[in-house]
Amino acid sequence: MNSPQPVDIFEVMHELLHLLRDRIRKDMETMETELTPNEVRVLMTVGHRPGLTQKELVDHSHMDKAQLARMLAELETQGWLQREPDPRDRRVRCLRLSAQGQALADGLHRSRQELSAHLLKDWKPSDLQQLMQLLEQARSSLLS
């Protein structure tokens, strides 16, 4: 068997991520939200990093600043998140999930954990550790 080409590896990774997103989207539908995948991604990010500023979220998500501002306003209006003044600089707004947003994030997090555990249930811990190291190495190569 020939050694896989780098492009082949990334094609498989792309396909795997597409399949995972499809499963997550189906789980989301069972939670009866009408949020877009980008809105869910924003809520999950805020849930993992409460107190994140809008600027930090723009930097993290690589989304357009104006588009993200509109999305945050809509998510706030719908009761999914809250924007509060930063105690150090009242001009800056810190983002936090509302109780409704936290409940959704918790449900999606559990769903992702269960799906991930199911997909990797037959892997040895040493293989998982090696895969994680290799993926982190690839990420570092892209960032340098």
Read off the pLDDT of residues 47-78 as tens digits, 9 standing for 90 and up: 999 999 988 998 888 888 899 999 999 999 99
Residues found in the chain: 144
Q: List pLDDT tens digits, range 79-127.
A: 999 998 888 888 888 999 999 999 988 888 888 888 889 889 999 999 9
Taking the mean position of all CA atoms in its chain, how far away is CA 74? 19
Beta bridge partners of 94: 53, 84
CB 128 within 8 A of CB 134: no
> Domain limits of the chain?
6-143
* pTM across the whole model: 0.72
Instruction: Output helix, strand, coil percentages for the chain, rounded to the nearest 5.
Output: 70, 10, 25
Q: Per CATH, which fold does 6-143 belong to?
A: Arc Repressor Mutant, subunit A (1.10.10)
